[in-house]
Amino acid sequence: MLTARRECDAGFEVYRLALPAVVGVKEGINLPRYATLPGRLRAKKPRYRPSSLLRREEASKRCSSATPTVEVTETVLLGTGADAAPAVVDLLVELGLA
């Protein structure tokens, strides 16, 4: 089973596909971004000066992490071709659009 997530205007769409499956992605999604010369020079300079060393327990108490909430929507195929027409009509009636 393959689970793929796609970003859209309303959030994310999640697809669950049986294997073997073919999935396409946007061109350039895996192209590396190279650092510019000014960026590399800035990376060599320290950005902060530690005022004191913290014990490991104190450092872990001061750190926190949060996971953003992600609204997952699922797409359901209603059928193919003319077989899907009754399901589409039922869905429109259920949503109050027909």
Q: Looking at residue 12, what is its pLDDT?
A: 84
Rounded to two decimals, the pTM is: 0.28
Phi, psi of 17 (to 5 degrees): -120, 145
HSE-CB at 81 with a 13 A cutoff on CA atoms is 2
Token digits for 59?
């450092």
Q: Which DSSP state fits 19?
A: S
Q: What is the mean pLDDT of the chain?
A: 77
Three-state DSSP class for residue 59: helix
The per-residue pLDDT for range 45-61, each reduced to its tens digit, is 877 766 665 555 554 45
- CA pair distance 68, 89, nearest whole angstrom: 36
pLDDT (mean) for 68-95:
83
> pLDDT tens, 17-32?
888 888 887 776 777 7
Q: What is the pLDDT of residue 5?
A: 83
